Structures are given as C-alpha cells and as structure tokens.
Structure 1
Amino acid sequence: MRELVATPFGEHRLVLRRGSPKAVQLPHAKFAELYALSSVPGWLVAAAAAQWQMDLSGRALDDVLLLREPGPYAFSRATWEINLGCDYDCEMCYLGEKRFEGLDMDGKRTLLTVMRDAGVIWLQITGGEPLIDPDFPESYRLANELGMQVEILSNGSQLRRDRVLDVLRAYPPTKLTLSVYGATADTYDAVTRRRGGFDRFRAGVHRAIDAGLNLDLSLIIVRTNAHEADAMRAWARELGLRSREYANISPTIEGGAETLPSQAPQYLTNREPFTGCPAGVTFFHADPFGRVSICKVGREPNIDLTAEGVPGLARLGRIAESLMLRTGGCSGCKLSATCRVCRPMARVFQAAEAPLVNYCQHGMR
C-alpha cells in the first residue's frame, strides 16, 4: 500500500499521508518533478522525516507515493452517506425512517471513481451507521486506494468486530468521529433505544484506542441525557480524546418535526452569523443512491453522479446560488444580515412548521 498521496489542491500542491491530518506543501516545480522520478528524491525523504518521522531513503517512488491528477472543478471535499440504515433508533435522528437501501457494490465503485476524477481529496463517510453496511470494508479500502483521505462518522457500535477494525488498522482513517449518547447504560440505551448499546459502544471505543486510530467524540446532548453532560465530558477527558458538543436538533430530512421535542433547551447554542459556505462550490454531498446535492440539508435539486459522471457537477454552483436566496417566510427579514441559519436549513424548519424559537432570532425575543 502506498502511504503517501501527492495531489493538486486549488493553486497548491500537497503531499498527504494516509491517516494523518498533516500535509507537506510543495512548490509547483517539485510536484512536476515527481512525474519523471523512479526513486524517492532527497527533498521528499527529508520532508517526510520531518513531518511524519518516516524513513523513505532508498525507496522506489511508485511503491511509496500515489500521484493524483487535478479535477476539472474546484471540488476537493465531499461527504457520502453510504447507507441510511442504522442499528440505533435515536429519538433525535434527522434521518427519519432510516431505510437501508442504496447502490450495490458496482454502483459504489462507480461513485467513488467519479469522486476521485472530480478531484475529491477529503471524503467523509457517514450514514445512517456506515460500519453496518456490508460493502463498507471494500468501499473504504477503494476510497483509500483511489487516493482520498477518509474520515468516518460513526456510532462506534461495530468497532468491536474484527471485520471492521482490521480494515481500519490497514488503512487508518484521517479521523474517526464517534457519537456519545450518555455516560451510563440506562441513559445511553434510552437515547438510542437499543438495549446493550452502551456496552457495545464502550468496547468498540477501547478497541479503537488500542488500535491507535485517530479518534474524537461528538457529545450529543438531548433532554434524555442532559443530566449526564458533565459525566460525558469527564469520560472524554479520562480517555484523552478531543470532544465537541451538539445540542441543536433539526427536523428530519422528510420535513418531520418529531425530533424537535428531544432538544435540551438549556444547551442550545447560537451559531455564528451565516455569511456563506463552500456547499456546491468546493464541497458536495452524496446520498446512498449517488445523488449529489450541495449538502446534506439542501438535498434538492440533485444530480445523479453515477449516471452523469463528472460533467454533472458543473451545475452544482448554480443550484447552490438558487438555494441560498432568502425566500418564503424569510424574505424581507430585517435580521438577515446577522442571521445564524443558512437558507436550506431554514427551509427544513419551515417545511416542518417548527416554532420560530427552534431556528429564528425573531423567536428568541
């Protein structure tokens, strides 16, 4: 397995190491030089030793480094819902019915290859719960072999299984982010509505730590577990892992408001004023069927990437512009310059007929 990837990134040229968030930036001339070399040049030996403590001296370049071509557009990041199915049934889940369906393995191969050809460097694989998909190991291995740096969002329930942990050891993810739903079995199992979930999760976390994977934790705070927020924070510190907190719950992707009562009002946070984002410009989202949208919130309109290929992505910029217009209940709002909610998210709340207090500054007055 080639551990390094050399890739264009906009106007920059980078060397990345699988499983590492660090990078080496190259002058364009050095990047171009790599096409003509057969062995690792001295300057790359020195850079890899300084950045990653790797010894590449005397190695054949093709054994060490994958050289990627630039994509035709500016897309460098993507997220992929490999499947919406999940082994949990959390009360606050924005995925609603969580149907287990999507592309077969041939379709997954096509989708990942098109992503590579589009220039995607950083790929986040999510779900549903991605690790329960029977095609996850092969899909994850292929994404790495195509030269993508892969991050995984997971509930961690499957990390105790060798079929999952073995492929993660062989191809370490750039980051593995695990959701935490409680600090005790009673609370965790109540949030996930799965008996034994807490024990499976903790076993998986410790196996992942022992495997040396780069972990961080997302502390999901809702009414049912809010009394254990301090205990969840303490557990993250005890493990020596980075953690972030999420308490702002959104409606389901079908526009349902049934998730909103799970919010813990005392933990809701004010986002920064929304001034734009890279959705549909340098970033895109793919659902389990290979339908690409600007993000996981603004799912319509979308593009069938497996059918249209890379040229289909040319339309995403125009779609992004149309979705960012303030329309409907937000048109003419005098607070729009300081609004903390993007338009696709506001549309989701409006479709769910959610109370303004859930998403609008007017509702906070």
Structure 2
Amino acid sequence: MHQLIASPFLGDYLVTRPDSERGVKIPQGRYNELRSAGADEIAPEWLEKAATQCWGLNVGGRALRDVVLVRNESAYGFGRASYELNLGCNYDCEHCYLGVKRFEGLGWSDRERLLSIMHDAGVLWLQLTGGEPLIDPLFHEVYQMAWDLGMMIGISSNGSRLHNPKILNALTTRRPYRLTISVYGATEASYDGLTQRRGSFRKFQHGLTAAVEAGLPIKLNIVVARQNEHEVAEMQAMAERFNLPFHMFTNMSPTIYGGPESLPAQSQEFQRQRKPFGGCSAGVTFFHADPHGVASICKVGRDPSVNLISEGIGGLTNLAGIAEKLHTRTGGCSGCALSGTCWVCRPLAKLYQQAKAPLASYCQHGGR
C-alpha cells in the first residue's frame, strides 16, 4: 500500500499522505519526474527530504512503487466530492436534514463504476457520509477501493459503530485523513433524547473511546439543539478531555425536500448570525453523489442533477451550468436590495422558503 500520493489538484501539484491533513506543493516538473519514473527506481532525494520534514516519514532507499501512488491529470477539473453511501441511519435525530432516511443504494458493480468516475474526474479529497456510512453493508468495499485509488478519505459518522473490530481494523489498516464524529449531548438523557434511540449515548462513548485509543485523526462536531443546549460546556469539556479539535454546529436547516420537521430542534439561544455568502465551488470543482450515483452540485442543491451511472463521467460537464442557474435569485428573493450580502446561498434559501421558516433563520430582512 502507498504511503504518499502525488496528484494534480486544481492547477497545482501536491504530495499528500493518506492519514494527514498536511501536504507539500511541488512544481510540475517534479510531478512529471514521479509520473515518468520506473516503479523500481529509488525515491528521489527531494521526496525523501519532503517526507521527513512534513511527516517525519523515512522513505530513503525505497522503491517508488512502495512509497508513492502517482495520479494522472484529469480533464474535468474536480478536486473534491462527497458520497452518501446510504440515507439509512441507526438514529432518528430530530434535527436531521435528510428527512426520510431510506436504506437504499447501488450494488457493488455500480459503486465500482461511481468511484472510478470520481477518480477519473480528478477527485483527491472524498467525504464518505450518509445517513450513517458505517452501517452500510458495502462500507468496507467502498472505503478500501477509494483509498486504494489514491483518494484522501474523510468520514462523517455518529461514532456508534467505531468499537466494532472489523471497522477499526479497516480504518487503522488504511487510515483516513479525518474522522468527524457528531456529538449530540453530554448525558444519556439529552443524547438519547435528540437521537430518539435508547442506548445511543453508550454506543457513542464506546465508539469514541475505541477510536481515540486507535489513534485515529478525530474531529468532533458538537451539534447544539434545544434538547442539549444546557450541556454545551460539558460537550466542549469532553472534547478537551480527549484533546480533540471540535466544531460547533448550531443552525438547523430544513430537510433536503424542503420540509420543516428538522427546524423545531433549533436552539434559539445558540442560533448564530451567519456571515454573508461569498460564493462556493459547488458544481465547478466540487460535486455530491447520492446513494444512487446521482450527482448534484452539493448536498443542498440536488435538483437538477446528473445520473453518473447512466450518463458516465461526461455528465459532470453539465454541473457548472446547473450551479449557475441554481444560484440565480428567484421567487421572493428576486430584486432584493440586500442580495449582495445574502446570509445563505440561493439553493438553501429556497429550502427555507419551502419549509416556511422564519426569515430570521436565513435572511437579513428577518432582523429588520
């Protein structure tokens, strides 16, 4: 298995390590040197020095085939993607933006095709998500193939399955660069209350402890809802006790169908004022794939979309045009005098409007 990845990325050339967020930018000439080198050639001195300085990794005197996987250029220009393995979940969280969580997905041959398309499109960073990805019956096969293709893998999980020996073995044999674990409370009462699953807090504790002991690169996503807002300090203390970085998630969104059922979980005390939306790379250098291999510009703007299984990689060329149309102001936002400093993108505003959410949750007019 490779220890390093050399890859084009959005006009640059990088050397990355699968289990690290750090990387090294290299000139095109050095990338070409690695691409044209024979598999039996010894790692060049510059790569040896870079590996030592960046990761403390000794690759001196070793054949390139045992050190680095060199990825080819792509004509499609995508560097990042996310993939929902399955919308199914073993929790039923009140705040979940997925709405109806169906256990559906592609068979293995179509998943192989989807991952190959992602690879050929240039995707270097891939987020595996759900639902809960670790309960998907083909998680191990998807994870191994994506890793072996030379993608940097991030996983978003509720942590409930991380104590499973098979899962731990998969994640320690081929290590991700990041494992993001959601935190729904600091006590059994609040945690199980938000997830609506008895025993979920105990499973989370076991999974988090096992992942920390395995030395996995963990980041906590502390979800603040009305059910656990009184435990914010305790959830932060949990992260500090394990010496883990954390992010605070406080603003609830409508479901992907524009439904309002996730909004009552909003903590009014911790709802933060958003920064003005400054644009994004959705549909241009990033795309999202759902459990059926349908690609959209992101997790929010899901329609129109492109079926990658039936259309193939060429369908990705349509996403930039779709993104441009989705970001055009429509409906109640058309002609808005404050449109230059919108708090959310147009696709997300549309979902809020469909859910008949209060203006204050997504629009500057709500505070006027």
SS in 1 for 2:292: coil
Which residue of the other structure, out of 353, 356, 363, is the alignment partner of 2:356? 353
Instruction: Tell me whether 1:142 sits opposite 2:141 in the alignment.
Output: no
Which digits, 9 at most, give the CA deviation of each residue in 1:148-197, with x for residues without a partner? 00000000000010111110001111100000000001110111011111
- The Cα of 1:361 is off from its aligned counterpart by 1.4
SS in 1 for 2:277: coil
Cα distance in 1 for partners of 2:292, 2:303 equals 14
SS in 1 for 2:269: helix
Paired amino acid for 1:154: S
Cα distance in 2 for partners of 1:61, 1:178 equals 35
Which residue of the other structure, out of 45, 48, 53, is the alignment partner of 2:51? 48
Instruction: Tell me whether 1:337 sits opposite 2:332 in the alignment.
Output: no
| Alignment-derived partner of residue 99 in structure 1 | 102
| Alignment-derived partner of residue 286 in structure 2 | 283
Which digits, 9 at most, give the CA deviation of each residue in 1:314-343, with x for residues without a partner? 111000000000110101111111111110
Cα distance in 2 for partners of 1:49, 1:303 equals 43
| Alignment-derived partner of residue 179 in structure 2 | 176
Q: Could you tell me the TM-score, scaled by structure 2's length?
A: 0.98
Cα distance in 2 for partners of 1:306, 1:39 equals 40
| Alignment-derived partner of residue 310 in structure 2 | 307
SS in 2 for 1:20: coil
- Any residues of structure 2 matched to 1:110-189 within 5 Å, and which? 110-189=113-192
- The Cα of 1:12 is off from its aligned counterpart by 1.2
| Alignment-derived partner of residue 11 in structure 1 | 11
- Any residues of structure 2 matched to 1:187-266 within 5 Å, and which? 187-266=190-269
Which digits, 9 at most, give the CA deviation of each residue in 1:285-335, with x for residues without a partner? 000001000000000000011222221111110000000001101011111
Aligned-residue CA RMSD in angstroms? 0.9
- The Cα of 1:59 is off from its aligned counterpart by 0.9
- The Cα of 1:346 is off from its aligned counterpart by 0.4
- The Cα of 1:17 is off from its aligned counterpart by 0.8
SS in 1 for 2:109: helix
Which residue of the other structure, out of 297, 300, 305, is the alignment partner of 1:294? 297
| Alignment-derived partner of residue 36 in structure 1 | 37
Q: Which moved more, 1:78-87 or 1:3-12?
A: 3-12
Cα distance in 2 for partners of 1:60, 1:23 equals 21
SS in 2 for 1:266: coil
Cα distance in 1 for partners of 2:341, 2:32 equals 45
Instruction: Tell me whether 1:362 sits opposite 2:365 in the alignment.
Output: yes
Q: Which moved more, 1:348-357 or 1:279-288?
A: 348-357
SS in 2 for 1:33: helix
Q: Which moved more, 1:330-339 or 1:140-149?
A: 330-339
SS in 1 for 2:235: helix
Cα distance in 2 for partners of 1:362, 1:30 equals 52
Instruction: Tell me whether 1:272 sits opposite 2:275 in the alignment.
Output: yes
- The Cα of 1:106 is off from its aligned counterpart by 1.3
Q: Which moved more, 1:252-261 or 1:280-289?
A: 252-261
- The Cα of 1:355 is off from its aligned counterpart by 2.3
* Contact 1:114–1:306 (8 Å) recurs in 2: no
Paired amino acid for 2:184: Y
SS in 2 for 1:267: coil
SS in 1 for 2:76: coil
Q: Which moved more, 1:5-14 or 1:183-192?
A: 5-14
Cα distance in 2 for partners of 1:351, 1:70 equals 41
| Alignment-derived partner of residue 20 in structure 1 | 20
SS in 2 for 1:265: coil
Which digits, 9 at most, give the CA deviation of each residue in 1:203-254, with x for residues without a partner? 1101101111000101100111111111111111111111111111111112
Cα distance in 2 for partners of 1:11, 1:360 equals 35
Paired amino acid for 1:5: I
Paired amino acid for 2:194: V
Cα distance in 1 for partners of 2:26, 2:199 equals 49
Q: Which moved more, 1:37-46 or 1:328-337?
A: 37-46
Paired amino acid for 1:183: A
- The Cα of 1:24 is off from its aligned counterpart by 1.5
Structure 1: gaps of 5 or more residues: none
* Contact 1:103–1:288 (8 Å) recurs in 2: yes
Cα distance in 2 for partners of 1:246, 1:260 equals 14
- The Cα of 1:94 is off from its aligned counterpart by 0.6
Q: Identity, % of aligned pairs?
A: 52
* Contact 1:236–1:242 (8 Å) recurs in 2: yes
SS in 2 for 1:216: strand
